[in-house]
Structure 1
Amino acid sequence: MADLDREIQLKEEEISERLKGMRDEALRRFEAINGPSSLHKFHAHIGRNNNTFVDSVRMQFQSSDDFIARWLDGLRVEVLQNREVIARRRRFGGMKRTVELIPEMLQDEFLRNYIYLFLERNFYRNFVGRVRAKPEECLWQLWFGPGNLSWGLFISPAHRLGEWTNDKSQMRREPYHYWTIGHVMETGLVVPDSEEPMTFGSVGNFLQFYETVLARVSNSEYEKQISKLYLDHVKQSAPPEGMPLLIPELRYGGKEAKHLYRLDFCVLNPYIMRMVGFEISPASSHMAIAGITSKTQVQLNESLATKWAKESDKRNRYFRDFGISVVTFADPELADIESCFTAIVSALEERPENIVTLGGAEAALQEAFDAIEL
């Protein structure tokens, strides 16, 4: 990671030097289009629309070229939406706006190169925010916990007008991996009726909170065993901050005390953007039917069908609305709880098979070429 950071820094410095050498001529050409101006105003026309022409909060960009291409496409949309205003200004005169200035500048090859370099530098200056996978908006805030005991995990929490929300301008800049223990350490957990998040001085303090509060509120011995295995697993991980949080009792309907469904456990893996829920489903609790001795076979079948329909609806809703697939541990699996946890570990530990950087790809290509025998 340190090598990648250094590579990005060098790339940004190289682009800055090139821009510095082009700056005077670029400003002269800009003034030929827009009249006397300043470097600050010139740059403002290029840089202040990064969140207008492209949705930097939600979009993930594959490269600087991808970022520039989408930026231009967003500008195209703005031009179409403002074509009447542009036509009126051309007929009657008036101050040119960015949506008209940029297309005019792009007709000048020198200015076009300058603009593209300026956007490329912006891409590298915000590299993490530009290339990181962006979660769906429904996952920007998560609420978990049973009954009235709910906690929130927000990507970039902000308390505004008496409500907790996300600071959208900050979300893409957050350095931590979403939904990990490091995420919790940076933002804390949101408490519904408090204006300050619950924070933890150390990973050890958070793990203690997980053990003494989050794990203990469950009435299921199976869930308590899995929580213990998770805590042991985290303590053996290096660094623990990178471990995805095993979220207990993820609520379908948010923070309200009365909510439709909860998932026993959930792993949102930010490294591969895979969302997996885990249901502890012994027949004694999930398929129990009251008054079974007084029911006919038809009534029993109807009751079982109703139970199963509710269980299916729960899984379908989590997948449809959150993209969360659900793994169910029934009685045969629960007989070996460590085997169940092994499946959870797979969701916690899964990482991309290969991360390719420009420098790494070039080195690997040269190595493969040099290894060819004559």
Structure 2
Amino acid sequence: MAKRDPEKTARNKLIKELNEKLKELLPSVLEETGIKSVYSLNGIFGGKFADYIDIKNEVIHSPDHFISLYLSGFKEMAKKNPHSAHHRNFKLLQSSTKLQKYIYLFLKRTYLRNYEALSKKRPRVEDAAIWIGQNNANYGLLVTPRFNIQISQWENDKSEIRHFKPLYWSIGHVMETGLVIPGKNERIKFSSVDEYLNFFLNVLVRNSGSKYEYELAALYRDYVLSSLAPENIPLLIPEFRYGGLSFKHLYRLDFTIIDPIELNKIGFELSPWSSHGYIAKTQGLSQKEINEIAKNNFEKEMEKHKAFFRKYGIFVLIYTDSDLANLDKIFADMRDFLEPKTRKNTLQFQIMQDIISGNL
């Protein structure tokens, strides 16, 4: 049996409660306003939110945020023309306290029903494709992938990015789109979360040859499989390529997590001395020359992290040998970013009075 998403279950329960409250209020609302039916009521007020809110661009954080935007847009529309239906409807809303309560509950239910689409921050077009992996073993993760035959390359369908249903850069994302093959009209699709995680662990990460990366990837796999809603967990993205599709290798990050709510990025770099600082041949070198080589190695590593921050806004956490002795602790750091906190923008019911009170 599929595991239930506790957040979605809670929303559905609240929607059901709101349905009951709206049914109870309806007769008195119709009587007080003179509106003939629930269909007319919902047509006059409920169906207008796309007229009053910039749905394409607004990221709406909460039901009360949605209601605030709706009422502000409604009031502005009513002000423009005192002879319009918007003006008459707004005056009716001002005069009826029962209607105000009904609309508040109705809009709250509307937001909860459309929560996924309304609450998501959308990536910029230039950030809607990432490329991972080593040369000749690299893959693309796009939001709305389509293959452009004219240039023989994958690109995003820009008009559909905002309609993407899964959380961006989540397990649900890769299950929806798969991974694309650069330069070929082919992609790897996954029939289950288990199948993706096996590919992630034994193809994407194992290919790096790092035992530390492999063990952390295994901890991530177990974490996802134990989740009640694995599709909502952010991807642990391996080998994020600084140069994107550029064949000439410049930099890669061991792991990256993109918060699907705010789209903030955090990188994780495993830097054991054996591969990031060790100087193999010192015979015949002066101490000054050895120090110069060590300095250049360090500066090269730091430039990598600064470059990722400048280009992608990725802040990088660096783990050295003493950290790598305890991979559970490193994964605990990762887990903090795998459990993004829901945004809150709490307002009060008083917002109804604040916005609709006063003259137009």
TM normalised by structure 2 equals 0.68
Q: 1:56 maps to what in 2?
A: 56
Write the mapping of 1:44-193 to structure 2, written as runs, cut at 5 A: 54=54, 56-57=56-57, 59-63=58-62, 66-67=65-66, 106-108=86-88, 109-110=90-91, 123=111, 126-135=114-123, 137-160=125-148, 162=150, 163-174=154-165, 176-193=166-183
The residue type equivalent to 1:207 in the other structure is: L
Verify the 8 A CA contact 1:105 1:111 in the aligned structure 2: no
| Residue equivalent to 1:362 | none
Note the C-alpha offset of 1:246: 1.5
Q: Is contact 2:240-2:254 (8 Å) kept?
A: yes
The whole-number CA distance in structure 2 between the counterparts of 1:56 and 1:294 is: 65
* Residues 215, 227 of structure 1: 8 Å contact kept: yes
Question: In the aligned structure 2, how far is the partner of 1:331 from the partner of 1:337?
Answer: 11
Deviations 1:5-38 (A, max 9, x none): 35347768998998x978999xxxxxxxxxxxxx
Map of 1:277 onto structure 2: 267
Q: Report the CA distance between 1:277 and its aligned residue.
A: 1.3
Partners of 1:48 and 1:282 lie apart in 2 by 54
For 1:200 and 1:286, locate their aligned partners in 2 and report how far apart those are by CA, in whole Å. 35
* CA contact 2:125–2:158 (8 Å) conserved in 1: no
Identity %: 32
- What is the number of equivalent residue pairs in this alignment? 321
Would the alpha carbon gap of residues 308 and 168 (structure 1) be closer, same or farther in structure 2, given more than 3 Å must change? farther
Once the two structures are TM-superposed, the CA of residue 275 in structure 1 deviates from its matched residue by 2.8
Equivalent runs, 1:356-367 vs 2, <5 Å: none
Whether the aligned pair in 1 keeps the contact of 2:64 and 2:346 (CA below 8 Å) is: no
CA RMSD of aligned residues (A): 4.6
TM-superposed deviation, 1:199:
0.9
Residue from 210, 220, 240 that aligns with 1:220: 210
Shift in Å, 1:247: 1.1
Post-superposition offset of 1:330: 0.9
Q: Structure 1 64/212 Cα, relative in aligned 2: closer, same or farther at 3 Å? A: closer
1:352 maps to 2:328: no
Q: Per the alignment, do residues 238 and 61 of structure 1 end up closer, same or farther by CA in structure 2, a change over 3 Å counting?
A: closer
Shift in Å at residue 357 of structure 1? 8.6
Q: What SS does structure 2 have at the residue aligned with 1:232?
A: helix
- Cα distance 1:13–1:303, how it changes in 2: closer, same or farther (>3 A)? farther
- Kept in 2, the 8 Å contact 1:157–1:167? The answer is no
Question: What are the Cα deviations for residues 213-246 of structure 1, in whole angstroms up to 9, with x where unaligned?
Answer: 1122112222222223332333333343333222
Q: Deviations over 1:274-310 (max 9, x none)?
A: 5321111112221234653343333333333332222
**Distance change (3 Å), C-alpha of 1:23 and 1:314:** farther
For residue 4 of structure 1, the aligned residue among 11, 20, 26 is: 11
Task: Tell me the residue number matched to 1:265.
Answer: 255
Q: Can you give the 5+ residue segments of structure 1 that lack an aligned partner in the other structure?
A: 26-39, 80-99, 360-374
Unaligned runs of 5+ in 2: 1-6, 37-42, 349-360
Q: Distance in 2 between matches of 1:12 and 1:136?
A: 36
The one-letter amino acid paired with 2:115 is F
Contact persistence 1:154–1:166 (CA under 8 A): no
3-state SS of the aligned residue for 2:131? strand
Q: Provide the C-alpha distance between the structure 2 equivalents of 1:111 and 1:167, rounded to a whole number of angstroms.
A: 41
Cα deviations by residue, 1:353-372 (Å, 9 ceiling, x for unpaired): 8979999xxxxxxxxxxxxx
For 1:334-353, what aligned pairs fall within 5 Å after superposition? 334-348=324-338, 350-352=339-341
Q: 2:193 aligns with which of 181, 186, 203?
A: 203
Could you say if the C-alpha distance between residues 306 and 75 of structure 1 is closer, same or farther in structure 2, counting changes exceeding 3 Å? farther
- Structure 1 distance, partners of 2:66, 2:340, is 25
Instruction: State the one-letter code of the partner of 2:221.
Output: L
- Tell me which amino acid in the other structure corresponds to 2:59: Q
1:296 partnered with 2:286 = yes
Higher relative contact order (CA 8 A, sep 6+): 2
